[in-house]
Amino acid sequence: MPAITLSHLRIIALLEGISYLFLVFVGMPLKYGFDMLVPNKVLGIGHGILTVIFCFILFYLWQKRKINSTLSIFVFIASLIPFGAFVADFKLVKLSRTCR
């Protein structure tokens, strides 16, 4: 089984962040503006799955000491804020460059 790396975390964090933006800026207006519930359910399920995968990868890398506690908490909190995934990605890029 291949090892999970910071690159995997960066990819899933960006996908999760993009899905969050779609949920907020597409799903919510469709739900509350046009009373369309199905797109919001589909986007919500996709975002939920990506969030769970993101949390597992973040926890795994923290357990393997590939990412420190402070950065782990920062990345997790950033995932809760719209556009926060892009800020977290910037920090993860800096970390991956220093690990080489």
pLDDT in tens, 19-44: 999 999 999 999 999 999 899 999 99
CB 72 within 8 A of CB 15: no
- Whether this prediction's pTM lies above 0.85 is answered by yes
Angle between helices 38-63 and 69-79 (to 10 degrees): 180
Among 24, 19, 14, CA closest to 75: 14
Q: What is the pLDDT of residue 14?
A: 93
| H helical segments located in the chain | 6-22, 28-34, 38-63, 69-79, 84-99
Whether 1 shows a pLDDT value over 80: the answer reads no
Whether 95 shows a pLDDT value over 80: the answer reads no
Whether 50 shows a pLDDT value over 60: the answer reads yes
- Average pLDDT of 80-94? 87
Whether 99 shows a pLDDT value over 70: the answer reads no
Angle between helices 69-79 and 84-99 (to 10 degrees): 150
- Average pLDDT of 55-83? 91
